Chain A
C-alpha cells in the first residue's frame, strides 16, 4: 500500500513536470487548455502533499492536542470551532475577488506562458506559503491581525506602516476596480440596465430579510438570484428599445460619477439595507460561476488561440507597457501572491479553526484554489482570437479611435482582425462596439461566454452569457467598492478621532458624512483620472494597484520571516525569505521603472514631461508620488525587519515568541 502511494505521487509529480514542460516548450500550433489545467492541478497536488506538509510538520509543528483560539475563546460569535471544509469554503469565498480574474487577462498580452508559469509557481512557493504562515501565526496569537503582529514582532513602526499602507491600497484598489466596471458598461445599455437593476433588487432583499422573512438569508438570496437573472433577460429588451436604450447608454465619465455617488451612499446607508444583501448574493453567484467555469472548461476543452509568447514581451505592450520582468509579476498579484490575503488570514479565519492541522487545507489549500481560478481566467482570455483580444483590451489612444484604424493597427502587429468581424461579434453579444473596452472584464466575459455557450445553448445564448459574466464581475466589484469605502471610512475615523474625538464616533452622522466623502473623494479622484487618461487608465492604475498589493505581501512576509526566525533561528527562514526576496526585487524594480523610466509609456515622470495637457501632467506626477510613497513605506518596514533579524541572529536581541500559552484541547470530533 505504501509503495502504491509512493508510485502515485511519483507519477503525479512527473505529470506536473511533463505538463509544465509541454506548455513551456510547445511552439508553432495551438495547444489545448487541458494542458494548463493538468499542469496546474498536478503541481498544486504535489506542492500541497509535500511542501505544505513539510511546513506544517517540521516548521509550524501543528499540534491537534493544542486548543485553538476558536475553542479556548469560544463565544458563539467570532470564535467558533468550524468544520474544516466549511471553513475552507468560507475562507476561499473571502479571498476570491476580481483580482485573480482581471490580472491574468491583462497579463495575457505577453502570451499564455509567462502568466501561467507565474500563477502556478508563485502560488505554490509564495502566495499559499504567505497565507498559510500568517494564518498559523494569527491562530497561535488568539486571532491577532497583521498590524498587531507587525507591531508585536517587529516594532511600532511596522504596525503604523501596515495601517497606512492598507489605507493607501484601499484607495487605489477601489479606483481600479471602479474603472474596470466603467469600461465594461460604457455605451452598453444592456449591461448598465442589468447592474442598475441589482440596486433595487438588493434594497428589496434588505427589507425582505429585515422585516418580512427575518433570518431567511438563503431563501432571500435565491429570490434575489432569480430577479437578477430576469434583469439580464430584460436588459436585452432595454438595449433594443428605442425609448429606453438612450436612458441606459452612459458615457464613461457619467458612469464614473454614478459609481462615486453609489459608493458614498452605500457607505453611509445602514449596512443591512444595501451592502449585506448584495454581498450575500454576490458570494453565492461568485462561487457558482467559478464552479460553472471549471466544469465548462473541462467539458469544452477549448484550444488556446493566443501564442505562448507574443511580440509584446519586449515591453511595448498596448495594454500596459513594460517587460515580463517585472511587470508580469505585479500585474498578476491575486492568483499568485496577494498581500490582501494576509488581512483575511489574520481576520475571521484564525478565529474559526477547530484543530491546528486544519490550517493546512484552509490556509494553503484555499490559495491553491484561488490560483486555479486565475488559470481559468487565463484560459478564458486565451481562447479569444488574438486580434479580438487586442482589439477589446487596447486603448483608443494607442490603436486609433475608429474601428478601421484600430483593426489596421492590430493587424499590423501580426494579429489579424477586421472592423467587420468586431462589429459582428459586438452584435452577437448585444453591444454596439467592443473596441477599446479596456480593463479586462469585457474580454474575460467574451471568453467565458464562448465557453458557456459551447457547453450548452450554442451561439443563440452568447449574448445572455456575455451579460451574465459582466453582471457576475460587476456585482462583486460593486460589493468591494461599498464595503471598501466603509472600511476606509472606519480607518479614517480611527485616525481623525485622535485629532477631534467626535470625528472618531461612528454614530455621529456629520463625522460619517465627512469621512465617507473624504474616502470616496480619494478613490473617485483616481477613478476619474483613469477615465480621462488617453491611454485608458489601466496602464497606470493597474500597475499601481499591483505594486501596492505586492508591497503589502512583502510586509506580511517580513512578519512571517520574523516569526519563523524567532521559532527556529535561521534554519527555516528561507521558506518565507525566498518569496520575499523575489517579491521585493520585482516590486521595487517595477516601482522604480514606473517612476523614473525615460519612456513616457512606462515612467510617470517622463509621461508628465511629455504631456501637453496640464491635468494629465499633474496626474502623472501624483501617480509618481503615490508610487514613491508605497516604496518608502515598505523600505522602512523592510529595514526595520532586517534590523530585528540581525539582532536576533547576533544574539543581541531576545527572540521572544508572542504565542498564546499551550492549553490542551478538549474538543470532541462530534462537535465539528
Chain B
C-alpha cells in the first residue's frame, strides 16, 4: 500500500515520467537533462484544460 502511494506521488510529481524519459533515451540524470525534460513535459501538460 505504501509502495503504491509512493508510486502515485512519483507519478503526480513527474519524477516517474523523468525516470522513463531517461530510460527511453538512454541518458543520465543531469540538471540540463531535467530542464530539457521539464520544458517538454510542461509545454504538453499546460496546453490542455484543467478540470473544474
Partners in one complex: yes
A residues 59-79 touching B (CB-CB < 8 Å): 75-78
Chain B contacts for A214, CB-based, 8 A = 30-31, 34-35
**Which residue of chain A is the closest to B1 with respect to CB atoms?**
A85
Is residue A521 within 8 Å, beta carbon to beta carbon, of the partner chain? Answer: no
Q: Is the CB of B46 within 8 A of A487?
A: yes
Does residue A347 face the partner (Cβ distance < 8 Å to B)? yes
User: Which residues from A are CB-within-8-Å of B20?
Assistant: 76-77, 80
Please state if B42 and A271 are interface contacts (CB–CB under 8 Å).
Answer: yes
Whether A512 is near chain B, meaning CB under 8 Å from some CB there, is no
The proximity string for B residues 23-35 relative to A, scoring 1 for CB distances below 8 Å and 0 otherwise, is 1110001110011
Which residue of A has the minimal Cβ distance to B18?
A215
Specify which chain A residues have a CB less than 8 angstroms from the CB of B23 in the assembled complex. Answer: 76
In the complex, A301 has a CB within 8 A of chain B: no
The smallest beta-carbon distance between B17 and chain A, in angstroms, is: 7
Is B48 within 8 A of A487, CB to CB? Answer: yes
- Interface size of A by CB at 8 A reads 56
A334 to B51, CA, bound (A): 9
Report the minimum CB–CB distance from A207 to chain B (whole Å): 12
Contact among B12, B35, B38, B44 with A284 in the assembled complex (CB-CB below 8 Å): B12
Contact B49 A211 (CB under 8 A): no
**Interface members, chain A 179-234 (any B CB < 8 Å):** 209-211, 214-215, 217-218, 221
Taking residues whose C-beta sits less than 8 angstroms from the other chain, chain B's interface range is 35 or more
Residues of A within 8 A of B34 (CB): 214-215
- B interface footprint on A310-350 (CB within 8 Å = 1, 0 otherwise): 00000000000000000000000110001011011001100
Q: Complex Cα distance A29/B35, Å?
A: 60
Given contacts A76-B23, A210-B35, A272-B42, contact A217 B13 (CB under 8 A): yes
- CB of B39 within 8 A of CB of A89, answer no
- Which of chain B's residues has its CB closest to A80's CB? B20
> Which residue of chain B has its CB nearest to the CB of A276?
B42
Contact between B29 and A215 (Cβ–Cβ < 8 Å)?
yes
Which residues of chain A have C-beta atoms less than 8 A from B40's C-beta?
A: 77
Q: Which residue of A lies closest to B10 (CB)?
A: A218
Indicate which residue in B24, B49, B50, B52 contacts A75 across the interface (CB closer than 8 Å).
B24
Residues of A with C-beta under 8 A to B15: 215, 217-218
| B4 CB-CB contact with A under 8 Å | yes
The A/B interface has a contact count, at CB < 8 Å, of: 118
Residue from B8, B45, B52 within 8 A of A89 (CB atoms): B8
Chain A nearest Cβ from B36, distance in angstroms: 10
| Known contacts A76-B21, A210-B38, A479-B50, A89 near B31 by CB under 8 Å | no
User: B45 to chain A: closest CB distance in Å?
Assistant: 8
Given contacts A347-B48, A483-B46, contact A86 B18 (CB under 8 A): no
**Pick from A78, A89, A343, A479: contact of B11, CB under 8 Å:** A89
Q: Do A487 and B47 have beta carbons less than 8 Å apart? A: yes
- A221/B13 in contact, CB under 8 A: yes
Contacts of B38 in A (CB 8 A): 209-210, 272, 276
CA A12 – CA B20 in complex, angstroms?
Answer: 42
Q: Is the CB of B49 within 8 A of A343?
A: yes
B49 / chain A contacts, CB cutoff of 8 Å: 166, 170, 340, 343, 483-484, 487
Instruction: Collect the chain B residues with CB atoms within 8 Å of residue A218's CB.
Output: 9-10, 13, 15
Q: Are B42 and A77 in contact (CB under 8 A)?
A: no
B43 adjacent to chain A (CB < 8 Å): yes
Is residue A96 within 8 Å, beta carbon to beta carbon, of the partner chain?
yes
Which residue of B has the minimal Cβ distance to A216? B15
A75 to B41, CA, bound (A): 13
Q: Which residue of chain A lies nearest to B43 when distances are taken between CB atoms in the complex?
A: A271
**B-contact 0/1 string along A87-101, CB 8 Å cutoff:** 001100111111100
Residue of B17, B31, B52 near A98 (CB, 8 A) is B52
The smallest beta-carbon distance between A489 and chain B, in angstroms, is 10
CB–CB A486/B46 < 8 A? yes
Contact B25 A76 (CB under 8 A): yes
- Are A480 and B52 neighbours in the complex by a CB distance under 8 Å? yes
A341 to B49, CA, bound (A): 10
A9 within 8 A of B: no
| Bound complex: CA A113 to CA B46 (Å) | 38
Interface: A293 (CB within 8 A): no
Complex Cα distance, B40 from A627, in Å, reads: 37
Residue of A with least CB distance to B9: A218
Q: Give, as a whole number of angstroms, the nearest-CB distance from A97 to chain B.
A: 5
A105 to chain B, nearest CB (A): 15
Residues on the B chain within 8 Å of A347, using CB: 48
Interface CB pairs A-B, < 8 A, 5: A283-B12, A333-B52, A343-B49, A480-B52, A484-B50
Smallest CB-CB A-B distances: 5 pairs: A76-B24, A217-B13, A214-B34, A89-B8, A214-B31
Extra inter-chain contacts (5) besides given A76-B20, A85-B4, CB under 8 Å: A77-B44, A86-B11, A276-B38, A340-B52, A343-B49
